[in-house]
Amino acid sequence: MNRDLSLEELERDHWSAPPGGETRLMTTVRELRRKPIGGLTVEDMRLLIGQDVGLAYLLPLAMEVLRDNPLAEGDMYEGDLLAAVLTRRAEAWREFPELRQEVRRIVSALTDVPPALKREVEGFLAL
């Protein structure tokens, strides 16, 4: 995967601003889709993954971060990237079974799950 390319380039899908404007969140998402994926921060990935944007490219990148630091945080709280990954719909995980197994291993190895993540961890493990 070429990390110099943006999600827009990788997916070959340009999002235009809708007529009449959009929410601040969607403006941010649209802007992040234009940023090279190699330059995305933990917070950028958390936000995009949380909106189910670019999962085919971003879940593998997020896993690189989570392997080294399962509780990596963006701007919200300790482990917020993991929370974004854990809360993807079951349908998304059917597309990425290898990543799902890796997430299971990472979560199972956590010795002290922060209270903010307990529900997300339990929900993911129940899939």
Residue 21 has pLDDT above 90, yes or no: no
User: Quick one: pLDDT at residue 20?
Assistant: 78
In tens, the pLDDT along 93-106 reads 999 999 999 999 99
CA dihedral 17, 51, 57, 9 (to 10 degrees): 0
Q: What length is written for the chain?
A: 127
In tens, the pLDDT along 55-103 reads 999 999 999 999 999 999 999 999 999 999 999 998 989 999 999 999 9
User: How far apart, in whole angstroms, are the C-alpha atoms of residue 5 and residue 39?
Assistant: 10
Across 25-33, average pLDDT: 94
Task: For 87-108, give the DSSP string.
Answer: TS-HHHHHH-HHHHHHHHHHHH
Q: What is the CA radius of gyration of the chain?
A: 15
User: How far apart, in whole angstroms, are the C-alpha atoms of residue 56 and residue 96?
Assistant: 8
